[in-house]
């Protein structure tokens, strides 16, 4: 199967993160700025590049699109190309920050609209990971080692992914979100195993009824539907590899009844398993 075939393949539609499809076309710079109480920008408009910035320390105030933003250590900022914005360090605690500019090649107009709709400011949970990525990005950009552009593009995409997940992932305001995250990881790692609500609820230290409600709030879907979506997506990949028959792919993801699997597959993707098997 060539890349033009892959571009035409349909995808399962349960989740919406596939809207965020883009590649890095060009990079402007990657820098780290030390605290400076006099740092300020006024109505900056970068028409060539998008901007990612990370507050490594201190505080700053921003104004963009009629909104005021209080930026603190650990906050990640994304300014879409051509978006006017102003900012200044808090004189009592001037911020130190990383920033990078880059251009994106969007997969389609829907992807561009999705990125443009992202909030400017998010607060990632794993700030150590974000700071390490920016540190590595700046080091590679300055060092210009062989292949540095490949890695720099990869890091920027990782940082964009962090921003997207913070913006569109499960809301941290959902009660017991920290208990539910490992449950989602458990389901993703055990596709062929049917795990009962009771088992999952016990693992999360919640009652089954409470678990059902919170899981749907956290993922947007019931446990059964979420499990089925994971399995169908995995089966689709197996079929596209050309190494599995429909029956083998169904068995690999935990379906012994290939007819039920085929009906479910078509319900979630709009296409029969054989469509992917024959690509």
> What pLDDT does residue 174 have?
65
> What pLDDT does residue 39 have?
95
Residue 62 β-bridge partners? 69, 87
How many helices (H) does the chain have, and how many strands (E)? Answer: 11, 9
What is d(CA 246, CA 258) in angstroms, rounded to the nearest whole number? Answer: 8
Stated pTM of the model: 0.69
Give the DSSP H or E segment for 29: strand 22-33
Give the DSSP H or E segment for 148: helix 148-168
8 Å CB contact between 78 and 100: no
> What pLDDT does residue 173 have?
55
Closest among 108, 109, 105, 110 to 160, alpha carbons compared: 105
Give the DSSP H or E segment for 121: strand 121-122
The pLDDT tens digits of the residues spanning 163-220 come to 998 887 655 556 677 788 889 899 999 999 888 999 999 999 999 999 999 888 887 7
Closest among 151, 146, 46 to 99, alpha carbons compared: 46
- What is the side-by-side order of every strand in the sheet holding 59-64? 40-44, 85-89, 59-64, 67-72
Give the DSSP H or E segment for 140: helix 127-143
> What pLDDT does residue 277 have?
79
- What are the residues whose beta carbons fall under 8 Å from the beta carbon of 179, sequence distance 6 or more? 204, 205, 206
> What pLDDT does residue 5 have?
35
Q: Which residues of the chain have pLDDT under 70?
A: 1-18, 169-175, 279
> What pLDDT does residue 177 have?
75
> What pLDDT does residue 8 have?
32
> What pLDDT does residue 235 have?
93
> What pLDDT does residue 179 have?
86
Half-sphere exposure of 121 (CA within 13 A, CB side): 17
What is d(CA 270, CA 257) in angstroms, rounded to the nearest whole number? Answer: 19
> What pLDDT does residue 170 have?
52
> What pLDDT does residue 18 have?
64
> What pLDDT does residue 11 have?
38
């Amino acid at each position: 199967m060539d890349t033009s075939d892959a571009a035409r393949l349909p995808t399962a539609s349960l989740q919406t993160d596939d809207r965020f499809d883009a590649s890095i076309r060009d990079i402007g710079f990657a820098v780290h700025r030390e605290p400076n109480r006099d740092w300020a920008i006024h109505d900056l408009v970068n028409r060539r590049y998008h901007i990612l910035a990370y507050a490594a320390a201190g505080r700053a105030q921003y104004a963009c699109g009629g909104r005021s933003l209080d930026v603190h250590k650990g906050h990640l900022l994304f300014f879409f190309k051509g978006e006017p914005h102003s900012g200044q360090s808090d004189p009592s605690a001037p911020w130190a920050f990383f920033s990078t500019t880059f251009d994106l090649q969007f997969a389609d107009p829907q992807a561009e609209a999705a990125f443009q709709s992202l909030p400017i400011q998010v607060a990632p949970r794993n700030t150590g990971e974000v700071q390490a990525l920016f540190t590595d990005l700046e080091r590679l950009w300055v060092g210009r080692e062989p292949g540095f552009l490949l890695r720099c593009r990869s890091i920027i995409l990782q940082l964009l992914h962090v921003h997207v997940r913070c913006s569109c992932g499960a809301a941290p305001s959902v009660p017991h979100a920290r208990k539910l995250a490992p449950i989602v990881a458990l389901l993703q790692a055990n596709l062929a195993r049917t795990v009962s609500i009771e088992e999952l609820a016990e693992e999360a230290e919640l009652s089954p009824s409470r678990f059902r409600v919170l899981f749907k709030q956290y993922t947007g879907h019931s446990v059964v539907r979420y499990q089925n979506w994971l399995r169908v997506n995995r089966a689709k990949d197996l079929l596209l590899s050309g190494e599995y028959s429909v029956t083998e792919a169904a068995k690999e993801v935990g379906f012994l009844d290939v007819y039920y699997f085929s009906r479910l597959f078509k319900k979630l993707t709009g296409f029969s398993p054989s469509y992917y098997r024959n690509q």
